[in-house]
């Protein structure tokens, strides 16, 4: 079998056979196909796509490219969650302990941030001592004893995805739907859960900016789940403005703690409890979304979710005192308030520009392996629909190095649009696909 023949076949829009896809994945992971040739194949897929059968086979071949987690020793309904990435999205920090609190078992493998989207692992590493590199046994023990564990992706799980993702990132092929679907679902399959909930973002700060493309991605993932016998639900959620009011690693940890303490409401909380409710529905612990949301809200109000977060931190070597004393988290030395000349109501808040501003301050990375500043970021004071007077700030910058401060200020100001009359906030949960 010739790799070049397969590239030409896909370039010409022809369908690949299952054994041909197995060949591609196996040889690339083994290092027998160089990056420059695989880049040509990825571009051929980008332009000519793959049909449903090809995408299922690619997903399965990627899932089988390394080890699979064996969760058979963990009692109960095991779940997982994935987000397609956004700005101010600290959902996992709230969701993991909340899932533990409602009696499900979650083993979450997460990644680091790249570009304008934050990474859950970077945020957790803001907590002094928190370990994100766990042995398989530590991971399983956390799930069994407290219902939750979270760690960084390991190279022995779905190595095909790790190699292909890095190549897609530098070859302009990230937005190919079959490649995104296979990337997401191969990791979920390899982790062995009973149920999965997906948070697919749509809007200015999302990979899939158009709703129709986000829906196509969500449906593709749900369809893959059906083909392989995995219960998958997808929520399409808004990412036109930042989800939370904090953008930046330690700032997002602070906001997540406030939600877990039942001290704040808002979009971050609403999306999280809805995702947890979907998992409760899958597990048949509840009969309706309303019952699931109520159960999740009850665990926040009772303090059990906060207690679970404390246990998670303790289990993974972190300092649980950050819950009562957030100043133990990395803190920027300086503050700068951003004010606008206009008065009125916020009609637009561009999530992408806010994400880029945080990145400019040092909160994110442009290349894998870059050092980031976990203390810096942006607090959003006004979101869409909020009233603004001339004396009020729309945002507050936390920074250490002022070398890019003016650029960050410009991006934040450009992110806001003000109108004389109130505007409705975008619909937060646009659609559910089960």
Strand locations in 111-264 (E): 148-152, 195-202, 231-238, 246-247
Is residue 260 packed enough to be buried (19+ CB in 10 Å), middle (13-18) or exposed (0-12)?
buried
CB atoms within 10 A of CB 327: 8
Which of the four pLDDT bands, split at 50, 70 and 90, describes residue 356? Answer: very high
Report how far residue 304's alpha carbon sits from residue 322's, in angstroms, rounded to the nearest whole number. 17
Q: Which of 57, 187, 308, 374 is catalytic?
A: 187
CA distance 237 to 201: 5
User: In degrees, to the nearest 5, what angle opens at C-alpha 94 toward C-alphas 91 and 95?
Assistant: 75
Quick one: CA torsion of 106, 111, 115, 117, rounded to 10 degrees? 10
In this structure, are strands 78-83 and 105-110 parallel, antiparallel, or unpaired?
parallel
Backbone angles phi, psi at 166, to 5 degrees: -65, -35
The Cα-based distances of 1 to 22, 60, 194 in angstroms read: 11, 20, 37
Q: At what angle do helices 159-169 and 177-191 cross, to 10 degrees?
A: 150
CA distance 334 to 337: 10
Q: Alpha-carbon distance 151 to 107, whole Å?
A: 8
Domains and CATH numbers, the chain: 3-48 (1.20.970.10), 78-323 (3.40.1030.10), 331-419 (3.90.1170.30)
The residue annotated as part of the active site, out of 183, 202, 250, 283, is 183
Q: Is 299 a catalytic residue?
A: no
Q: Is 386 a catalytic residue?
A: no
- 383: which residues sit within 8 A by CB, 6+ positions away? 241, 242, 245, 267, 346, 349, 425
pLDDT for residue 114:
65
The residue from 22, 89, 122, 161 that is catalytic is 161
Does residue 92 have an active-site annotation? no
Q: List all residues 6 or more positions away from 113 whose beta carbon is below 8 Å from its beta carbon.
A: 119, 122, 364, 365, 372
User: Which has the closest alpha carbon to 88: 192, 195, 243, 232?
Assistant: 243
Active-site residue, 168 included: yes
For residue 365, what pLDDT is reported? 79
Condensed to tens digits (0 to 9), the pLDDT of residues 382-400 reads 999 999 998 899 999 999 9
Rounded CA separation 173/35 (Å): 13
3-state helix, strand, coil in the chain (%, to 5): 45, 15, 35
Residues 327-338: tens digit of each pLDDT? 999 999 999 999
Catalytic hit among 10, 153, 168, 299: 168
**393-396 CB contacts, 8 Å cutoff, 24+ apart:** 393/337, 393/338, 393/339, 394/338, 394/339, 394/340, 394/346, 395/337, 395/338, 395/354, 396/335, 396/336, 396/337, 396/338
| DSSP 3-state of 244 | coil
pTM of the model: 0.94
**Per-residue model confidence as pLDDT tens digits over 150-207:** 999 888 899 999 899 889 978 889 889 999 999 999 999 999 999 999 999 999 999 8
* Catalytic site includes residue 187: yes
DSSP state at residue 146: H
Partners of 349 in beta bridges: 416
Average pLDDT, the chain: 95
Which of 82, 105, 310, 430 does the annotation list as catalytic? 82
Note the pLDDT tens digit of each residue in 33-47: 999 999 999 999 999
């Amino acid at each position: 079998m010739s790799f070049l023949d397969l590239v030409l076949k896909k370039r010409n829009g022809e369908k690949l056979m299952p054994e041909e896809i197995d060949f591609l994945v196996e040889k690339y992971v083994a290092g027998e196909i160089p990056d420059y040739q695989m880049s040509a194949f990825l571009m051929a897929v980008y332009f000519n796509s793959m049909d449903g059968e090809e995408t299922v086979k690619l997903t399965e071949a990627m899932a089988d490219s390394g080890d699979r987690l064996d969760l058979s020793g963990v009692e109960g309904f095991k779940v997982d969650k994935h987000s397609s990435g956004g700005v101010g999205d600290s959902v996992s920090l709230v969701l993991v302990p909340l899932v533990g609190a409602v009696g499900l078992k979650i083993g979450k493998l997460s990644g680091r941030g790249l570009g304008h989207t934050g990474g859950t692992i970077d945020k957790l590493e803001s907590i002094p001592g928190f370990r994100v590199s766990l042995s398989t046994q530590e991971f399983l023990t956390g799930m069994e004893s407290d219902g939750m564990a979270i760690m960084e992706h390991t190279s022995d799980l779905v190595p095909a995805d790790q190699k292909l993702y890095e190549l897609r990132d530098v070859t302009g092929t990230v937005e190919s739907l079959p490649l995104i679907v296979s990337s997401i679902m191969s990791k979920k399959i390899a982790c062995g859960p009973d149920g999965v909930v997906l948070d697919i973002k749509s809007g200015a700060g999302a990979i899939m900016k158009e709703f129709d493309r986000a829906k196509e991605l969500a449906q593709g993932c749900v369809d893959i789940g059906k083909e392989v016998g995995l219960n998958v639900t997808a929520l399409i959620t808004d990412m036109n403005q930042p989800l939370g009011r904090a953008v930046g690693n330690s700032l997002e940890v602070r906001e997540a703690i406030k939600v877990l303490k039942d001290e704040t409401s808002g979009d971050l909380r609403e999306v999280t409890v809805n995702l947890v409710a979907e998992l409760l529905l899958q597990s048949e612990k509840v009969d309706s979304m309303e019952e699931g949301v109520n159960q999740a809200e009850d665990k926040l109000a009772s303090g059990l979710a906060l207690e679970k977060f404390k246990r998670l931190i303790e289990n993974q070597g972190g300092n649980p005192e950050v819950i009562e004393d957030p100043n133990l988290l990395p803190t920027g030395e300086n503050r700068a308030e951003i004010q606008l000349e206009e008065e009125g109501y916020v009609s637009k808040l561009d999530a992408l520009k806010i994400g880029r501003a945080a990145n400019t301050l040092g909160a994110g990375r442009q290349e894998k392996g870059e050092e980031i500043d976990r203390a810096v970021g942006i607090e959003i004071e006004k979101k869409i629909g909020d009233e603004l007077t001339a004396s009020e700030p729309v945002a507050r910058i936390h920074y250490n190095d002022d070398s890019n401060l003016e650029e960050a200020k410009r991006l934040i100001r450009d992110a806001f649009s003000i109108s004389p009359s109130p505007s409705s906030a975008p619909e937060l949960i646009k659609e559910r696909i089960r």
